[in-house]
Amino acid sequence: MELKVRDKFPHIQDYKAFKVPTTLDPKNILKDQLGIAFFDPSGQCISVTGLQVPGVLDDIFSYLGPLGVIFSNEIVSLCLWAPTAQDVRALIYNGPSGGEPLEIVKPNESNGVWSVNGPRSWEGCYYVYEVSV
């Protein structure tokens, strides 16, 4: 039996639940700003609101692998779960004070996880993500 969203998340039980048409790809639309517009019978927009998407990110973009910095013998991997991101860059710094980054890299995205492998010399460095959502 399919669990209804309002049963799964009782704090939104008084909200209107919508179904996404099967012609839309939820992975793509979740990367954009979502909203609902209400129109009166004459076609005049009377209200606009955002959408609550409880649980949908976890349901669609579930990931059980490692996140953060992962060290191996030869490489340092950076992994970030950011399923709604349109673009991500990782800036690698020598120290905590910022300044010019040693390197700026663009992770690859797969099912909401952005990851990049770098040289072992990244060990001990600082990093920050620039995320466009």
Q: Put the strands of the sheet holding 87-93 in their side by side order.
A: 103-105, 87-93, 126-132
Quote the CATH superfamily of domain 68-132: Immunoglobulins (2.60.40.10)
Contact 83, 30 (CB under 8 A): yes
Scan for tokens 């797969």, then name that residue.
110
CA distance 85 to 30: 9
Query: How does DSSP classify residue 3?
Result: P
Domain ranges of the chain: 5-60, 68-132
The whole model's pTM is what? 0.75
Least Cα distance to 99 among 75, 61, 125, 76 occurs for 125
**pLDDT tens-digit map of 1-33:** 355 777 788 887 887 777 778 888 888 888 777
